[in-house]
């Protein structure tokens, strides 16, 4: 299957899944929503988009939950970077993954994000959570003022269990205010090339 050709359908699946609780007649439980995501999304979900367990790294940032029209579910995590850091990884968000990978697995990270007050920059990485911090799927996304879905992609060179992996959204490259809604880490399994996988902002 050529996943790149299915990029538009993939984005549509994410959009439908993200807005499902708002469309439901009654609020969904977290377990029911995760089950819907796993049924709707391609690949195997490797994180919890409802409770991502974000940890704020660095001392020059502020994190809070805000209402944000247009965001999936209507709310978002707002990350304010007070000033540019020496290294982009000196400030950002980190969270756990809930599933591991096998060598050769193709992994896509899809991030709903927008930037407030100017162009944004986020270095996204599903990676080993200890030195040498090797990335499985890594790349920089540049959200604009409107809500959009952004992808990074990669293929794991080694096998790792969930306890040795994590997700990082590093934002220390510049002074900025970012809003981040749901994030999906998806394992497509074996037999794919990078060219098969969606990348960049969704059209």
One pLDDT digit (tens) per residue for the chain, 203 residues: 333 333 433 444 455 455 555 444 556 677 777 777 777 777 889 999 888 999 999 999 999 999 999 898 889 999 999 999 999 999 999 999 999 999 999 999 999 999 999 999 999 999 999 888 899 999 999 999 999 999 999 999 999 999 999 999 999 999 999 999 999 999 999 999 999 888 888 75
Q: Within 10 Å of residue 119's Cβ, how many Cβ atoms?
A: 11
Q: Within 10 Å of residue 203's Cβ, how many Cβ atoms?
A: 9
d(CA 61, CA 148): 23
Helix (H, G, I), strand (E, B) or coil at 87: coil
Name the token pair of 122: 């986020």
pLDDT of res. 26: 57
pTM of full prediction above 0.75: yes
Helix (H, G, I), strand (E, B) or coil at 89: helix
């Amino acid at each position: 299957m050529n996943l790149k050709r299915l990029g538009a359908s993939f984005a549509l699946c994410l959009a439908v899944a993200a807005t499902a609780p708002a469309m439901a007649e009654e609020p969904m439980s977290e377990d029911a929503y995760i089950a819907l995501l796993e049924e709707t999304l391609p690949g195997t979900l490797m994180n919890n988009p409802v409770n991502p367990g974000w940890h704020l790294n660095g001392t020059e940032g502020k994190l809070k939950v805000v209402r944000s029209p247009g965001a999936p579910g209507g709310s978002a995590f707002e990350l304010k970077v007070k000033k540019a850091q020496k290294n982009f990884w000196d400030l950002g968000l980190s969270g756990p993954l809930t599933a591991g990978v096998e060598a050769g697995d193709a992994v896509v990270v899809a991030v709903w994000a927008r930037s407030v007050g100017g162009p944004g920059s986020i270095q996204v990485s599903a990676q080993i959570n200890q030195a040498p911090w090797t990335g499985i799927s890594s790349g920089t996304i540049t959200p604009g003022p409107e809500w959009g879905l952004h992808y990074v992609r990669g293929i794991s060179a080694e096998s790792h269990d969930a306890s040795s992996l994590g997700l990082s959204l590093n934002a220390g490259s510049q002074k900025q205010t970012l809003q981040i809604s749901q994030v999906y880490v998806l394992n497509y399994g074996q037999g794919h090339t990078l060219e098969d996988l969606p990348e960049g902002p969704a059209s």
